[in-house]
Amino acid sequence: MELWNFAKQIAQSDGRKNDWVYVVDVYKSTGGSEMVMEIVSEKGRFEVLGEASPSLVLISNKNGDVSTLEKSEFKTFRKKFHKRNIEGAKIIQKSVTVEGKKHDVILYIDAIIK
């Protein structure tokens, strides 16, 4: 929880207080794994992994498939915040290239959502 609060403070100091994609990006880049932001759409539930570019959000489904979503579309979806327990989860590291920039992500498949 301490890293989550730190990420929110960084976002605020960067002038991005309510930019939750940015908060998640900072949180994960500093080693955070307990907090999860999920979006719910007609296509299902997706974990937000961070920013892929100024206009794209990096997301993954429950199977660990990583894709992107336009930020304008992201803003229309319902967002949920959860804590998760990663003990016993299958940990997958992936690298994804979006618009020429490489993003390293860590996925926790079958983690327990609290």
Q: Domain limits at 92?
A: 32-113
The closest of 103, 101, 100 to 58, measured between CA atoms, is 103
pLDDT at 28: 94
- Which of the four pLDDT bands, split at 50, 70 and 90, describes residue 33? very high
Report d(CA 41, CA 54) in Å as an integer: 21
Query: Over the stretch 94-109, which tens digit does the pLDDT of each residue have?
Result: 999 999 999 999 999 9
Query: Over the stretch 71-94, which tens digit does the pLDDT of each residue have?
Result: 999 989 999 999 999 999 999 999
The reported pTM is 0.92
Does some domain include residue 43?
yes
pLDDT at 43: 86
Does some domain include residue 26?
no
Q: Domain total for the chain?
A: 1
